[in-house]
Chains A and B, each alone.
Chain A
Amino acid sequence: MGATRRDFIKGAAAAAVVAVAGRRLPAQGVAPEDAARWVKSVCRFCGTGCGVLLAVKDGRIAMLRGDPEHPTTKGLVCAKALFLPKVVHSPDRLTHPLVRKNGQLERASWEEAMELLAGRFAEAIERHGPDSVAFYGSGQALSEESYLASRLFKGGIGTNNVEGNPRLCMASAVGGYVTTFGKDEPMGCYEDIDHARVFFLVGSNAAECHPVIFDRIIARKQGRRDVLVIALDPRKSPIQTNVDLHLDPLPGQDLAVLHAMAQVIVGEKRHDLRFIERNVQFKATRDGQTVAVSFEEYVEFLSQYTPERAQMTTGVKAEKIVEAARLFALGPTMSLWTMGLNQRTRGVWANNLVHNLHLITGQIGKPGATSFSLTGQPNACGGVRDTGALCGNLPYGRVVTDAAHRAEMEKLWSAEPGTIPDKPGLDTMELFKALGEDRIRAMLILTTNPGQSLPNVEPYRRAMGGARPDKPFVAVIDAFPTRTTELADLVLPAAMWSEKSGVFGMSERRYQYMPQVLAPPGEARADLDVLLDFAARLERRGAVKEGFIAGRFQNADDVWEEMREASRGTAYDFRGMTRARLMKERGIRWPAPTEQHPGTARRYVKGEDPLLDEGPYADNSLADGEVKFYAAPEQRAVVWLRPALGPAEPPDAGYPFVLSTGRVLEHWHTGTMTMRAEELRRAYPEAFVEVHPVDAMKLGVRTGDRVKIESRRGAAVIKAWVTERPRPGSVFVPFHWQDEDSLINRVTIDACDPISKQPEYKICAVRLEKV
């Protein structure tokens, strides 16, 4: 029996490899011909947006494989995606509403649950005003869901207290793109990987967090000595085996490295003066005011960041900085980054400085030359950033502080003029603080797990679930029990991936359609259905104008039609992305203003970007291939003179180590889904803390010992892994595990970037003790 089972497992393992890595043989395990039908869809983990094919049989997903016809991921998926069917069919799914009664969550009917939800929100709005309620969404919700929620709260209820977990992962990238280029989202695409000769990976463990993209980088590098990878990262993450030049600054000191690279570039006249003169402006902040400065002033500013000086403050050898700068200027150079740059109190500035390098060298808007932020969630871009489902935003690049933008959306939404407040609502951390102070009286949380994922999580857990008189009402819509549902007053069971239909928008502006192929388990409902039901009940109670949502939308298709219209005339124009096209095609990249337009590989480039041909941004004086940053002020991108400031909480005598958090390949975010696939759970069944051998020796710690990691805010007790991955003086912990000992966000800091309001998960001071 043992041998038989082992043979079966080996066969399944080989089939999985073939499905992922490519071999033109039918996959084993479940033969394709046994499946009733194959359906194209999209993975719902990271922002890569891998195309997948689903074998559906007897109402279940029998098998998942990469879609070989997908234009960008070409049949590749990672280990997590392969186990999505197991996640969806997990017996742990929430299947009926739960209402807290006498301190316990008890089964309830949908009618009781929805009346409670609407009643508590209507009561809060009536007694305390619209700003006493809030929505906290997710980069995992479908675009239609986030759009509808934002529409309901901003245009219906009249509050901008609309936030989502992309605030925790992508807000600094948004701030970087907006302050440099005028509008959010990358201008490049994944094909740029196939043209780049220099990859500049900044604070990105793409090998584990975006494995399909990293595989494409390796494929580009494979067999070519002229393709090089530069890493700027304090940690030697698993990308290291493919890195040619590693710049390892002290945590939080990378801004000086980026300036020093720029100093070398202009000092050695490796900048592109013609590109600068045509497309770039320079700005600085002085006495709190933004002022225009000259290129010469920028050069003077950089003189304080010579490589030698940077070496003294960052720990990176000057000759490495010089080499990196020269390679960067040589190009074509593609920068890619993720949380190492974003989850920082100087995240926006760090983003600006990467863009600076591209702008002064002209390494942008050409094949292989682009400044590309990778996304951690499947729909942070298309769902939350683009739909404007954050407290200061409105759909498709509009902002709540702009009267014309508010008027456009109020007209489209048929809201009364003046309904959308002219000031941003509370950002994520402010929102949960306000909940703890009972200023937020009712909050709806959708498809996310702040009870585990917020930094310095303990006070916010008390805010959500701490018993107190007249406690605010917290409702959670989710597919699984989480560290957040355990705190909620109301839990609504959600349909998840493949049990509902809608659009995901991923890192390269590609919008992709996910079809419904399964019925949700038990009484679970699609989030959009819940939001429509919620809106109708608020309308009946007078908290929202009658007919604002009820009767206008029956399903996600109806919402998508309005979203297309909302994109009209904006820099996002995707009116050409009809539902029918999305169902048929394997994603389309915006702008795509007409149904005949194939989508845009590179924005801001004449000959590729249709908005330069027709409409408000058109410029027919440009030759094909020329760049115009039409969304930026004066249509010139901004090179910013930002001071190289460090982290909010550097190490000190009492807390001498730096803690950084992140992910492993097999798990995703708070583990809500990946821990439900036994194979993935077993790969990393428990948390670990990476400790450098030098530190381990001082602490008397060996691999497998339990270590207490303590900050000024809280502690976690986790097994040590002694490894040279972190710098001496730094430790690293993935944040996937939810058990009491491993809840590393009890330790992290909730200090935020003043521009993006994104917390500094990557750096806080801790002390270690063997226990």
Chain B
Amino acid sequence: MVVVGAYARVETAAAVEVRARLAAVGGVSTFDLDEPGKVGLLIEAASVAAAHARLCGELAEVPGVLGVWPVFVGAETEADAETPAAEEA
């Protein structure tokens, strides 16, 4: 299992709705940050590649998301880190 810490910049006017949409993405939990237009994200995935795909694909494409910035990647085991994304699909 891989954990990615990230934050999203979101449309301020729709921040509550956007946060709910982000939280609805599988393996994603959200938390508050100081600025109303920022949402903290924890992404859990089976591999780094899968987490990355979620970050750059599903999350970045959520309506109202202006940008997603990964700031931390951690893997439970070396094997998790090396699992190709294709195998997970």
Which residues of A approach B to under 8 Å, CB–CB? 2, 5-6, 9-10, 12-24, 78-79, 82, 207, 211, 214-215, 218-219, 221-223, 238, 241-242, 665-666, 678-680, 682-683, 685, 703-704
Binding site of B, secondary structure by majority: helix, strand, loop or mixed? strand
Query: Contacting A14 at CB < 8 Å: which of B42, B56, B75?
Result: B42
Q: Cα distance A658–B81 when bound, in Å?
A: 33
Whether A16 lies near B33 (C-beta < 8 A) is no
Docked pose: A226 CA to B74 CA in angstroms: 39
List 23 A–B pairs whose Cβ atoms lie within 8 Å, in order of A's numbering: A2-B1, A5-B76, A12-B5, A14-B31, A14-B40, A14-B42, A16-B71, A16-B72, A17-B33, A17-B42, A21-B7, A21-B38, A21-B69, A22-B38, A23-B32, A78-B71, A79-B72, A79-B73, A215-B69, A221-B66, A222-B11, A222-B66, A683-B70
- Assess the A679–B42 pair: CB atoms within 8 A: no
Smallest Cβ distance from B31 to chain A, in angstroms?
7
A762 vs B81: C-alpha distance in the bound complex, in angstroms?
Answer: 32
Closest chain A residue, CB of each to CB of B75: A682
The answer on a CB contact under 8 Å between A683 and B41 is: no
Q: Are B11 and A9 in touch, CB under 8 angstroms?
A: no
CB neighbours of A78 from chain B (8 A) = 69, 71
Out of A14, A79, A215, A683, which one reaches B67, CB within 8 Å?
Answer: A215
Specify the chain A residue showing the minimal Cβ separation from B82: A685
Evaluate whether A9 and B74 lie within 8 angstroms (CB atoms) in the complex, with A14-B40, A223-B13 already known: yes
Q: Is there an interface contact between A24 and B34, defined as CB atoms closer than 8 Å?
A: yes
Complex CA–CA separation, A12 to B71 (angstroms) = 11
Asked whether any CB of chain A lies closer than 8 Å to the CB of B60, the reply is yes
Structural contact, B32 and A82, CB atoms closer than 8 A: no
Partner of A13, one of B4, B9, B11: B4
Partner of B48, one of A6, A223, A682: A682
SS of A interface (majority): helix
Identity of the chain B residue whose Cβ is nearest the Cβ of A5 in the assembled complex? B76
Out of B1, B35, B37, B67, name the residue touching A207 (CB < 8 Å).
B67
Contact of A23 among B6, B40, B60, B71 (CB under 8 A): B40
Please, which residues of chain A bring their CB within 8 A of the CB of B75? 9, 679, 682
Are A682 and B73 closer than 8 Å at their CB atoms?
yes
- A6 to B60 CA separation, bound complex (whole angstroms): 25
A679–B69 touching, CB < 8 Å: no
B6 → A minimal CB distance (Å):
7
Contact A6 B73, beta carbon cutoff 8 Å: no
Given known A218-B67, A682-B48, contact A13–B33 (CB-CB < 8 A): no
User: B70 to A665, Cβ gap below 8 A?
Assistant: yes
* Residues of the B chain whose Cβ atoms lie less than 8 Å from the Cβ of A9: 3, 74-76
Name the A residues within 8 Å of B66 (CB-CB).
218, 221-222, 241-242
A6 engages B35 (CB within 8 Å): no
A344 to B84, CA, bound (A): 36
Determine whether the beta carbon of A242 is less than 8 Å from that of B70. no
Contact check, A222 vs B33: say whether CB atoms are below 8 A apart.
no
Residues of B within 8 A of A2 (CB): 1, 76
CB distance from A73 to the nearest CB of B (A): 14
For the complex, what is the distance from the CA of A680 to the CA of B4, rounded to whole Å? 11
Check A680/B73 contact, CB under 8 A, given A222-B9, A241-B67. Answer: yes
Taking the nearest CB of chain B, how far is it from the CB of A667, in angstroms? 12
Q: Which of A9, A82, A680, A704 has the most CB of B within 10 A?
A: A9
Q: Do the beta carbons of A13 and B37 come within 8 Å of each other?
A: no
Check if A211 sits within 8 Å of B69, measured CB to CB. yes
